[in-house]
Amino acid sequence: MPHSYDPTNIFARILRGEIPNKTVIETDHTLAFHDINPQAPHHVLVIPKGPYVTFDHFCAEASDAEIVDFHRTAASVCAMLGVSLGDGGAGYRGITNAGGHGGQEVPHYHLHIVGGAPLGRMLSRE
């Protein structure tokens, strides 16, 4: 089943400059910004600038340049936040959600980088 991208989603609007954000870093292919509803002391969203809906969509259809840039930018965010183990940080969690069962709220691929405190179990059953 092909992915259907909705160009009216909030992240597309942020990328077009229609909605302000608190940018952490921006590159040719990637934007990272602070989450407006942080779930930890550090909570940054990393999004590709291309119209990708989910992680698997991005991995299957993004160019090599987009994929490399996205992951290198995410690594830079971890270093900037001081959470990277390689930089003496205590760790972080990278989260991506896909579809209804995955809890995806915005239909634009995004990686949550959260840290700055112990985060507890990865999943909880409700």
Is 81:92 a contact under the CB 8 Å cutoff?
yes
Catalytic residue among 43, 108, 110, 112: 110
For tokens 């119209």, what's the residue?
51
Q: Give the residue from 91, 59, 60 showing the smallest Cα distance to 78.
A: 91
DSSP code, position 92: E
Q: Give the residue from 5, 16, 2 showing the smallest Cα distance to 106.
A: 5
Active site (annotated) includes residue 34: no
Cross-strand bridge partners of residue 26? 31
User: Among all residues, which ones are annotated catalytic?
Assistant: 110
